[in-house]
């Protein structure tokens, strides 16, 4: 992407434009095949169209207005509709959707760590493994590691490259956290080091309580 985005709408638009440029999608396709069906399904409050009561001309007019709204949101001639934010995001393809979501959350100082989804069972259900995500993110770190090539980080490093490396490392942390949560949800295992840490913390708490009694 070009200049760093500083607002939510800029982040969404930049990732969307990057997706279009890479895949050949365009705003008209996006509006017709993704946004409009999603709006019809989700029916957010500001989208008051009701296909059961509207006439054919009214429906066509609604379709046209939504296409125009997508185009204007992308070219900046109108304010990005806030109630479209997560709908728009859900309509994007990967990896652009995840990258956009991560940047949106980063804007508010949060990290994208999804809760693993699994089939609930009395003994615990299976959870999908995503080690491939870790391998991909690790490869991205190696590709972005130019600031580390001389063995030190310093003020002479390229700022954009250093920021990019930070982002890629955070993505690895994100994937690792998600995978650890998935393993615990599916198997009940947290790792020997985690278990040892819990035991040490419990022991320290007991010692502290015992000491405070005297």
Tell me the per-residue pLDDT of 134-179, one tens digit each, with 9 for 90 and over.
898 899 999 999 999 999 999 999 999 999 999 889 888 888 888 8
Mean pLDDT of 101-120: 67
Q: Is 44 helix (H, G, I), strand (E, B) or coil?
A: coil
pLDDT tens digits along 35-94: 988 888 877 777 766 666 677 888 788 889 889 999 999 988 889 998 899 999 989 998
Q: Which of 2, 31, 28 is nearest to 15 (CA)?
A: 2
**pTM value surpassing 0.75:** no
**pLDDT greater at residue 40 or residue 16:** 16
How close are the terminal C-alpha atoms of the chain, in Å?
A: 63
Asked whether the predicted pLDDT for residue 102 surpasses 80, the reply is: yes
Q: Is 123 buried (19+), middle (13-18) or exposed (0-12) by CB count in 10 A?
A: exposed
Helix (H, G, I), strand (E, B) or coil at 118: strand
Cα gap 25→166, rounded to integer Å: 30
CB neighbours of 138 closer than 8 A, spacing ≥ 6? 172
Give the integer Cα–Cα distance in Å for 157 and 167.
16
């Amino acid at each position: 992407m070009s200049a760093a985005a500083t607002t939510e709408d800029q982040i969404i638009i930049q990732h969307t434009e990057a997706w279009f440029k890479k895949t050949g999608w365009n705003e008209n396709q996006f509006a017709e095949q993704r946004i409009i069906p999603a709006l019809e399904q989700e029916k957010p409050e500001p989208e008051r169209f009701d296909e059961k009561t509207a006439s054919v001309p009214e429906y066509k007019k609604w379709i046209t207005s939504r296409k125009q709204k997508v185009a204007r949101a992308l070219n900046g001639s109108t304010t990005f509709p806030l109630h479209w934010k997560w709908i728009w995001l859900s309509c994007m393809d990967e990896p652009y959707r995840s990258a956009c979501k991560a940047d949106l959350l980063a804007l508010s100082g949060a990290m994208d760590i999804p809760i693993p989804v699994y089939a609930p069972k009395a003994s615990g259900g299976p959870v999908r493994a995503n080690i491939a995500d870790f391998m991909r993110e690790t490869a991205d770190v190696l590709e972005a590691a130019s600031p580390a090539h001389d063995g030190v980080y310093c003020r002479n490093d390229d700022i954009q490259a250093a920021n990019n490396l930070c982002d890629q490392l955070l993505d690895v942390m994100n994937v690792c956290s998600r995978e650890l949560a998935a393993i615990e949800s599916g198997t009940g295992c947290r790792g020997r080091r985690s278990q040892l840490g819990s035991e040490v913390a419990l022991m320290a708490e007991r010692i502290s309580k015992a000491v405070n009694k005297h």
